[in-house]
Amino acid sequence: MSRMTRWHLAIGFLTAVIAFAFTAWAQTPPKSKESTPVKSQKPPTEELKKKLSAEQFHVTQECGTEPPFKNAYWNNHDDGIYVDVVSGEPLFSSKDKFDSGTGWPSFTKPIEANIAEKKDVTFGMTRIEVRSKTGDSHLGHLFDDGPSDKGGLRYCINSASLRFVPAARLEAEGYGKFVSLFPLAKQEGVANVAAGEETVYLAGGCFWGMEDLIRKIPGVTATEAGYTGGWLKNPKYDDTHDSKSGHAESVKVVYDPKKLKFEDLLEKWFFKMHDPTTLNRQGNDVGTQYRSAIFFTNPAQKTAAEAVKARVDKAGSWNKPVVTEIVAATEWYPAEDYHQDYLQKHPNGYTCHFMRP
């Protein structure tokens, strides 16, 4: 065979390989559209000090330990997953949670490989510390006295290191990949979108004044005063004070996106009816329950809220940086009846809210 013939054969073979590869690529079906997954990352330390409670910061950043039996999740039996309170990365499932009798949440295994192990020789003992891989949060310790029929391991975890995402909220909060673990849970937000309405929870100080202004916005179809963003179940008004429950006084806002764009709700109303630069305070009201926050219910709201916050900050309308939190909505608790439509019932009642130009 001549050199020229071999060269032609080589060129022909290479051309065939390229053509086959292109055809296979072209016939590959596109991936199905899913909810935007949560991107796990660790915020800067100064931001964490603002975002976390004193106990959460002490446990996750200083390797502290919360009291047994006096924490949020040791006796929680609801379906859902537990994520890192710092980074949001998924850590454990309620399917793997068991009652160890220790007073701390206990799990037989992680939900994903998001756990890092580290030798711990503090307090004269040798133990295995467990930390989140991305957030590098101290979570707790790993022991070998768990249920033998499930591998024999016990992940003993601090509630302060976790945030619980109910099974019904997985899709809305960007954890849709875990929906299949809870087939009986109806995902929140789907019905609202189909009906043409959406929901968001806004916090900006006392909910009396917030609700009174928000209900008057064209396109808002319903409002409700309540509590969200905390760890205590079924909180009452007194529970939210002095950061005892971690909740923010908030307003549930149901709106028609065909009549009111979400960006306009924030930029033209929310950021003008309260001072978003005062940390845990509005006027004379002081405490974490009066913090500025947007509790989004879907990934699109999160993206829009971050963009609007950046524009408001850059515009310089306020003399200080905007400190508004943008976090996924958690369980909602309606406030007591006397708080609902308060300024409609008491037109001369207290408020520190007004619209700025």
Q: Of 130, 139, 142, 156, which residue is the catalytic one?
A: 156
Nearest Cα neighbor of 310 from 301, 321, 319, 299 is: 321
CA torsion 43-49-52-56 (nearest 10°) is 100
How many residues would you count in the chain? 357
Q: Choose among 227, 277, 231, 234: nearest CA to 251.
A: 227
Q: What is the chain's alpha carbon radius of gyration, rounded to the nearest angstrom? A: 25
In whole angstroms, what is the distance from residue 174 CA to residue 53 CA? 24
Specify whether the CB–CB gap between 328 and 173 falls below 8 A. Answer: yes
Catalytic residue from among 162, 170, 206, 217: 206
* Torsion-angle region of 2 (φ positive above 0: left; ψ -120 to 50: alpha; else: beta): beta
Burial of 205 (C-beta count, 10 Å sphere; 0-12/13-18/19+): buried
Report whether 308 contacts 266 (CB < 8 A).
yes
Asked if 71 and 85 touch (Cβ cutoff 8 Å), the reply is no
Cβ neighbours of 326 (radius 10 Å): 16
Is-catalytic flag, 63?
A: no
206 is catalytic: yes
Q: Which residues are catalytic?
A: 156, 206
